[in-house]
Each structure stands twice: as structure tokens, then as C-alpha cells.
Amino acid sequence: MAPAPRTSGSTASRAPGDARARTAARTPGPGAFRAVALIALGIALFLGALMLGDSQQDLHGKHGEHGDGLSGMAGMAAGLGKPSASKMFGWYPEPIFVAGSIAAAVLYLAAVWRLHARGDKWPIRRTVAFLAGIVTVLYATSSSLAAYGTALFSIHMIQHMILSMLSPLLLLLGAPITLALRALRPAPRGKRGPRELLLALLHSRYAQVMSSPFVTLPLFIASLYVFYFTPIFDATMGSMWGHRWMMAHFLAVGLLFFWPIMGIDPAPRKPSYVIKMLELFAGMPFHAFFGVAVMMSSTLFVDSFAKPPASWGVDTLNDQQVGGAIAWAFGEVPTVIVLLVIFSQWMSSEERLARRKDRQADRDGDKELEAYNAYLARLAAARGAGDAQPEGSGTRVSTASASAEPGAAD
């Protein structure tokens, strides 16, 4: 007997399973993701090692002994000529930051690719924001801006503001922690994989302490006052590795400060929107006062920028005051960006709450509203009874007296 032909109904019943099988077949497994991660790290380390002995060393070696008699960090920018807007986009790769940026970008894009491969969506605006943050880090550390930032305080302050305020905001808008938690597969029962380690770190006591405003705010303020008003700044500017550590510090402190305030990625604590704004505004007066103090200073407070190339004709005190104005004005833009993000989250939260209440009302016939109206009715009835009580009592007394008078007459 010939087998019965397949009907459209049987095909339709098997379609969901077939679709899931095809999706699973297209989804890259853990091995593919680990391979991409290892390749990214390998490329980053290779390029970093290659540039470590080439680009920055070449820049330092060529211009470290310049005709102006400059040496060390200040001599790096001497051979570039007098700074101008057209000269701020040269490429002088800083190996540590280039390697880290390449690794971060490749891992981020690999995670996005993994989500799309299994049918999950990831907002394109998140990817654009994160990559823009990578670009700003590279510009602040691996361009002519970074080279000139070793000789002029004003240029250095632009570098500082980008790394501590603009780059962290863009990177956090990319939600890298959320992306990692979605892209990483849960480990088998009884084992701990990368996703479990990341969750353990987010819930650890260390993360709670480091994300506390009692830690992030003092660190943010210390990055200005302790660095520039103590000998620490000149000490770090005295060597290439000290300068690298300082730039990494600015970026890390900015990320720590804005991470719980932005609230896009999961964090050990979730403050209310009002508390977020208070935390943001708590640091802004210190930032503004630092800029005003530098602008009003009549003496140089760091020695690293005391001797720029003589051929540039730079007034060092005026350049320091310009740097103070940059520090004062630059803080306004990131503040507005963060406030817009907080207000957007607040409005979205209220809209979600309203939709949830509407769905609940559709399910139970709006019992919550009926209960509230009944409560108002009881209040109104109680208030009406209380207002009418004295008049009602008097009326009852007079009626009794009136009924008693005829009996008395009888």
C-alpha cells in the first residue's frame, strides 16, 4: 500500500520544529565564539607588541632630542611643529590602547554577530555608540592630540576630558555587560563558565564597594585635585609608562563613576532616578570649581608644561588658563547627555508601568479602579455622616419633645 501523501497540515505542524532546527544549525557554538575571541586577542597582542617597539619609540626617539633642547615626554611633540587644528589628526598609535581597543571592538562585534545568528536583535544604536567610544579612546591616546598633550596643558586637558567623560559615556551607552550576558552561553550544571564568572563579579562585595558613590565620587574628584595639585602629576608625566597609567586611570574612573548613574548595564545597586541625578550633580560643582581655580591661577602649578618648544611662542600661563576653561566648559555637555538618558529611562519606566496596569485591568475587569472608587465613596459617606450628625441629633431631640407634648396634654 502506497504511503499517504503529506498534507499541508502535517507540513505546518512540523514547520516550527524545522525552523528551530535551522536556527540552531545557524547559531555558532561556544567553540566558534571562543575561536573569534582568541583570534581577536591574538591580533591585538601582536599589533601591540609590534607597535610597542616601533611607533611611540620612534616618535620619542626622533623628537626626544629636539633643536629646542627638549627631551623626555615634552620632546615628543617638538618635531610635529606648532599645533594647529589641521595637525590634530595625525596617527601616532599608542600600542597598549590600540591593542585593547581592537580586542574590545572585535569581541563586541562577535557578540552582536552571535545574537543575530540565533535570531536575537541587538539595537544598532548600541553598536554605533560603543564603536564611537572606541574611536574617541584611540583619538585621545593615539593621535597628534596625544603627542601635543605631552607639551601643552590645554591639549592635555582636552585629552583628559575625552577619556574621563566622553569615552565612558559612549562605551556605557553600548551596554557591553548586557551584551556579554546575552551572548555568553550558560555553563552546564555544576560548572562555572565566563557568564557565571561575570555574574559572580557583578554580585560580589568588591563590585558593590567599587560602584558605591562613596568610592566613585571621591575617585572622580581626586582625578582632578590630587593629580594636578600635588607632585603626582609631574611624577607620572616623567615616563611613558606613567603617562599610560594616567590615561588608563582617567578612563577607568570615568567608567566607574557613570556606570551606576547611567543604569544601562546591570550593576550591584540600582538607585532611583532622583538619586542618580543627585549623584551626577554632586560631582559637577567640584569639576566646575577646579576649572575656575585653574583659570584664576597666576602661577604654573605643574612643571611638566613649563617649557614648551620655544619656536611655538606659547605663553604657558595663558595656556594653563585655557586648559582651565576647557575643564570648566567640557563638563556641561556630558552632564546634559546623562540627564537625557536618565529622563528617557524614567519615562520608559513609567510607560511600562502604565501598560502593565492596563493589562492587569483587562484581565480582572479593572478591580483596582473599582476598589479605589469604593474607597472614595466610603470616605465621602463618612464625611457626609460626620457633617450631618449635629443637625440630625438636634432634629431627633425636637421630634421627641414634640411627641411628648401631646401625651402631657392628655
What are 312-361's pLDDT values in tens digits? Answer: 888 999 999 999 999 988 877 788 888 888 888 788 777 777 777 666 66
Per-residue pLDDT reduced to its tens digit, 360-370: 666 666 666 67
Which set of grid coordinates corresponds to residue 351?
A: 510607560
Which set of grid coordinates corresponds to residue 249?
A: 586611570
Which set of grid coordinates corresponds to residue 246?
A: 594616567
3-state helix, strand, coil in the chain (%, to 5): 75, 0, 25
Q: Output DSSP code: residue 239.
A: S
Q: Position 34: which residue type?
A: R
Instruction: Report the pLDDT value the prediction gives residue 91, as an integer from 0 to 100.
Output: 86
Please list the residues that pair with 143 across neighbouring strands.
Answer: 91
**Among the listed ranges 29-38, 105-114, 215-224, which one has the minimum average pLDDT value?**
29-38
Instruction: Report the pLDDT value the prediction gives residue 395, as an integer from 0 to 100.
Output: 47
How far is Cα 187 from Cα 193, in angstroms, rounded to an integer? Answer: 5
Quick one: what percent of the chain has pLDDT higher than 90?
33
Q: Tell me the average pLDDT across 219-226.
A: 89
- Cβ atoms of residues 80 and 144 within 8 Å: yes
Asked if the model's pLDDT at residue 109 lies above 70, the reply is yes
HSE of 192, CA atoms in CB hemisphere, 13 A: 6
Asked if the model's pLDDT at residue 46 lies above 70, the reply is no
Instruction: Report the pLDDT value the prediction gives residue 51, as an integer from 0 to 100.
Output: 53
Which set of grid coordinates corresponds to residue 130?
A: 560603543
Radius of gyration, CA atoms only, the chain: 33
What is the Cα 179 distance to its own chain's centre?
14
**Among the listed ranges 28-42, 106-120, 340-354, which one has the minimum average pLDDT value?**
28-42
Q: Which of 190, 44, 201 has the alpha carbon at shortest distance from 110?
A: 44
pLDDT-derived band at 65 (thresholds 50, 70, 90) equals: very low
φ and ψ at residue 122, rounded to 5 degrees: -130, 130
- Cβ atoms of residues 244 and 100 within 8 Å: no
**Among the listed ranges 152-156, 234-238, 251-255, 320-324, which one has the minimum average pLDDT value?**
234-238
Which set of grid coordinates corresponds to residue 279?
A: 549623584
